[in-house]
Structure 1
Amino acid sequence: MRRWSLAGQMFALQAVVIALVMGGVAVAAYLRIDASNTEATGTEMLAVAHTLAVDPAVLAALDDPDPSAVLQPLAERVRADTATDFVVVMTTSGIRYSHPTVSEIGRTFQGTIAPAVAGRTDYTETYPGTLGPSVRAVVPVFDGGRVVALVSVGRTLTAVSRELAPLVGQILAAAAAALLLAAGGSWLVSRWVRRTTHDLGPAELARMYSYYDAVLHAVREGLVLLDREGRVQLVNDEARRLLALTGDVQGSRVDEIGLPTVLGDALADGEPRSDEIHLTADRIVVVNSGAAGRLGTVVTLRDHTELRALVSELETIRGFADSLHAQAHEAANQLHTVVSLIELGRAEEALEYATAELEVAQHLTDAVLAAIAVPELAALVVGKAAVAAERGVELDLDDGTVVPDGVADARDLVTIVGNLLDNAIDAALDGAEPRWVRLDAVTVSGELVLRVSDSGPGLASGAADQAFTRGWSTKPTDNDAGRGLGLALVRRAAHRLGGRVEVGAGERGAVFTVVLPVPVDVTDPVRA
């Protein structure tokens, strides 16, 4: 039986249970009917006995020298008329005056007579007499209130059982019909179970569940299963980590479990998605989703946070390389100019030219290193300045700018300032000349205020509220997956550091302001 499918085992077990139940019901019904029939027979025997006990002929016969001569024919006639098995008239001491077997006349009655002798008129019992076990009634015969004789009327249990024979057939037929109906229902249920379980056995199902559960918890990709109404049916451990889910979310709508609005709406609509990038509270995730037949939607999530950080660092390094390449090209031009001036015999002019160019190149670097105590951020600003200059945009650092070391995680600062500078440079290129970008940072009341402004066209009316939403961008692109991610990353990084981001209008273009709390143990190494 272990090799049977789950449906086959269920059908066999149900058939056995139903057969046992129906057998028990049939036996119980028979016993109940038998008890009721026995009780009805006792009542009938009482009625016959009472009728004979009040017959005047019985009292008259008791005064006769030979009572049996009168009572035997009378008793037999009553027995024949009432279809009973015996009618016995006896003395109060149990000596029979009548009996179906003539040889029993004069012998002692076999049964209980004490209640009747005491005057009780409703006594019945089942007793094994001379004719076999029988249901009998024993009643007194009164003469002026005095018990002068007894009458017993009975029917054997064999005769009582014969009356039940037709009922037994009916009970068995009803039980068989109920058994067939129940078996048919069980067969239909087993067919449904077979389709549902793909005709697999319990051992196979248990093994499959064990493998499924192990894979579900061990796989390093987030998995979320949604039904057709967008309710969460399953979330594995990695998905809980990536989406920062707590508590039991099964049965809840996916857009009501605390996800960012854009991500929650994207998962709830049930549309197929391929490698879409979304932001959670502190992570970047790649989302893929597809239909799972009639069951709903399968959503997979991959952690893109570290990869995005590496890409940002790579872009920063690439910017440094580009700026070094540009500076090398510019240095070569300057060197050729100096050499040519010397060859022309104008050494003093060559020295003045070289000194002036060196001061210009060194000015921004010195200013950045003096103002920004975070090495990674300082290097980023120098590199962005070179990139901006190559693209025709001047990147200035306002006087009084100070960024203390340890004010925040260097990677978050690079994310914030790098994305804001990139957007500002692109915006400045869309504006009129002169094109410029300004960066300033001051510490006020225990908060670091970073501000990036540009000479671009600014933000359109009403766009300020949408600027930090993932997917919003003013730049044309063919890749929607990474579109509008920079400012969203800025806001996530600022919120992670306990700060806030604001956007407004400047003298020409937009002004983005990031306010970050400064730890109490951070000192200002530039001003100290």
Structure 2
Amino acid sequence: MRRPGWAAPGRWSLARQLLALQAAIVALLVGVGATLAYLDARRATDERAAHTVTALAESIADAPDVRAAVAGPVPSRVLQPYAERIRHDTGVDFITIMSPAGIRFTHPNPARIGGRFVGNTARALAGHEFTETYTGTLGPSVRTVVPVFGDGHRVVALVAVGITIRAISAELRRRLLVVVGVAVMVLAIGIGGSYLVAARLRRQTRGVAPGELRGMFEYYEAILHAVREGLVLLDRGGGVVLCNDAARELLDLPADGPGGRHVGELGLPEELVASMTSPEPRADEIHVGDTRVLVVNTSPVRSGDRAMGNVVTLRDHTELQGLTGELDTVRGFAESLRSQAHEAANRLHTVVSLVELGRPEQAVEFATADLAAAQRLTDRVVGSVAEPVLAALLLGKSAEAAERGVELEITEDTAIDGVVEPRDLVTILGNLIDNAVDAAVENAGVRPPRVRVSVHREDGRLVLQVADSGPGVDPADVPEMFRRGWTTKSSGGPVGHGLGLALVGRAVRRHAGTVEVAGDGGGDDGAVFTVRLPLDAR
């Protein structure tokens, strides 16, 4: 039965799996390290024991007192106290001095003096010292046997010094306790550090298992690439962390994506970059580019008080903006018809009143003259402008201007023969005329309100010029006029606040044309906008 709180390893959180893995690795490393340390300590202990007994045996064999005692009548009487004193001082287990025949002169157990030495002595009798591990009367031991040379380099005695394996093991156990203590301490520190790392990871991943993380990533990846809106994630420094397919298309980025570059290095307009990297939220900002109109929303992301970056959503507003422009044109036409109907009603009332007053001749003269003037304007516009939509636009703007008390003059040289996309011409002329009429009305107290429109060919280009009697423009404002949001009006028109000139600039750039702005209000005209569109740039 599964215990409460127990989970299969496959369902463990990422932090828990990391803790288990790190603990296993630390335990393995500590175990290997402890084993190697034990083997090294054992080797060092054996080497130390061999070195100790060898050095001590050599020093005893070289002692003159030993050579003299061996030559005496009773060697044990002198050598036994001497050997025991050295044994106690050095901590070795036995010092045996014997005759070449192997008869003991000394032994830790006095009862064994006079007995035969248990072990090999052949190499020592040949004049060579050696060290071996051998089981003697005191048990297994590490011993060194050294010859004692007399006159003529003759072996007169042998010295055997040894340390029992039991004593060596006791020393090794003392060292092993230190090794085990250090290993346990390192293991505890390693597991403790792993726990702290795992706890931090658990807080950051909120205890989600790797399988769940993988599933969430796959779902999010599918969602990001399925949505039609563009989505861009930026880090705190403005670097692109994520950019879905829709965003790459809307921003005209290469297929391989921005590759972590800063958003300012992607060739985007400065205003768009500023909006995307803004530390404050931006809602439904419209940005007009050369080929698209984008609605941008920027939402800063925070973790507590720490800024993490921005989430930017992009919506393509181009088609909607085109429909809005067409709707604005239709509204303009409707307003023009309303104005014309209103004006016709006024004229009709005047004619009826003249008839009622018994002046039919004046009524006929008034009606004929007014209709002739309107027909002349219509004939001239229709004859000069081959595109019906543009002709209707100019007639409608003329009626609107007249209703607002502004004289809209269409110059005699105006001629449009359909060489440029009508929608773009409607965008350019419609917005320029609207702005010109507003400026003329604003400055009506200084000059008679008037707007002059001229469209003609010149040096392979189509030249559109709109002049007004307004207050003019400040030359310092000219570089900013065609950017989104620039306006001198207190309220927006049908196409949005501060968008008219931005749309004009976009249409002109699309045709590789230019816009010139002149007039500071000091001459006969206020502002004069001149647009030049190459006729071979379609």
Query: Which residue is equivalent to 2:3?
Result: none
8 Å Cα contact 1:67-1:97 kept in structure 2: no
Stretches of structure 1 that go unaligned for 5 or more consecutive residues are 523-528
Q: Distance in 2 between matches of 1:86 and 1:168?
A: 25
* TM value normalised by structure 1: 0.81
Alpha-carbon offset, residue 82 of structure 1: 4.6
Is 1:419 equivalent to 2:422 in the alignment? Answer: no
Q: Distance in 2 between matches of 1:156 and 1:73?
A: 21
Counterpart mapping for 1:273-284 below 5 A: 273-284=282-293
* TM value normalised by structure 2: 0.79
- The count of residues paired between Structure 1 and Structure 2 equals 513
Query: Which residue is equivalent to 2:463?
Result: 449
8 Å Cα contact 1:88-1:96 kept in structure 2: no
Q: Distance in 1 between matches of 2:535 and 2:78?
A: 129
Counterpart mapping for 1:32-51 below 5 A: 32-51=40-59
Match of 1:6 among 14, 37, 43: 14
Alpha-carbon offset, residue 44 of structure 1: 0.4
Match of 2:227 among 219, 239, 243: 219
Aligned AA (2:528): V
Query: Which residue is equivalent to 1:289?
Result: 298
Match of 2:406 among 385, 393, 413: 393
Q: Distance in 1 between matches of 2:448 and 2:166?
A: 124
Is 1:262 equivalent to 2:281 in the alignment? Answer: no
Aligned AA (2:337): L
Q: Distance in 2 between matches of 1:480 and 1:328?
A: 22
Is 1:324 equivalent to 2:341 in the alignment? Answer: no
Is 1:513 equivalent to 2:527 in the alignment? Answer: no
Query: Which residue is equivalent to 1:27?
Result: 35
Secondary structure of the residue that 2:217 maps to in structure 1?
helix
8 Å Cα contact 2:393-2:426 kept in structure 1: yes
Alpha-carbon offset, residue 406 of structure 1: 3.8
For the aligned residue pairs, the C-alpha RMSD in angstroms reads 4.2
Alpha-carbon offset, residue 31 of structure 1: 1.9
Counterpart mapping for 1:242-257 below 5 A: 242-245=250-253, 248=258, 250=260, 252=262
Alpha-carbon offset, residue 238 of structure 1: 3.0
Q: Distance in 1 between matches of 2:99 and 2:512?
A: 113
Counterpart mapping for 1:93-112 below 5 A: 96-98=102-104, 109-110=119-120
Secondary structure of the residue that 1:11 maps to in structure 2?
helix
The 1:481–1:415 alpha-carbon spacing in structure 2 relative to 1, beyond 3 Å, is closer
Counterpart mapping for 1:203-242 below 5 A: 203-227=211-235, 232-242=240-250
Q: Distance in 1 between matches of 2:493 and 2:190?
A: 62
The 1:105–1:365 alpha-carbon spacing in structure 2 relative to 1, beyond 3 Å, is farther
Secondary structure of the residue that 1:438 maps to in structure 2?
strand
Q: Distance in 2 between matches of 1:334 and 1:343?
A: 14
Alpha-carbon offset, residue 363 of structure 1: 3.5
Secondary structure of the residue that 1:482 maps to in structure 2?
coil
Stretches of structure 2 that go unaligned for 5 or more consecutive residues are 1-8
8 Å Cα contact 1:96-1:104 kept in structure 2: no
The 1:86–1:161 alpha-carbon spacing in structure 2 relative to 1, beyond 3 Å, is same
Query: Which residue is equivalent to 1:468?
Result: 482
Q: Distance in 2 between matches of 1:124 and 1:497?
A: 102
The 1:128–1:441 alpha-carbon spacing in structure 2 relative to 1, beyond 3 Å, is farther
Query: Which residue is equivalent to 1:496?
Result: 510
8 Å Cα contact 2:87-2:94 kept in structure 1: yes
Give CA-to-partner distance per residue, 1:88-122, whole Å, 9 cap, x none.
Answer: 66899xx74449696996688449x65x677666x
Q: Distance in 1 between matches of 2:535 and 2:474?
A: 33
Give CA-to-partner distance per residue, 1:152-192, whole Å, 9 cap, x none.
Answer: 43323332111122222222223223322333222222222
Counterpart mapping for 1:55-70 below 5 A: 55-56=63-64, 59=67
Q: Distance in 2 between matches of 1:419 and 1:478?
A: 12
Is 1:315 equivalent to 2:323 in the alignment? Answer: no
Query: Which residue is equivalent to 2:4?
Result: none
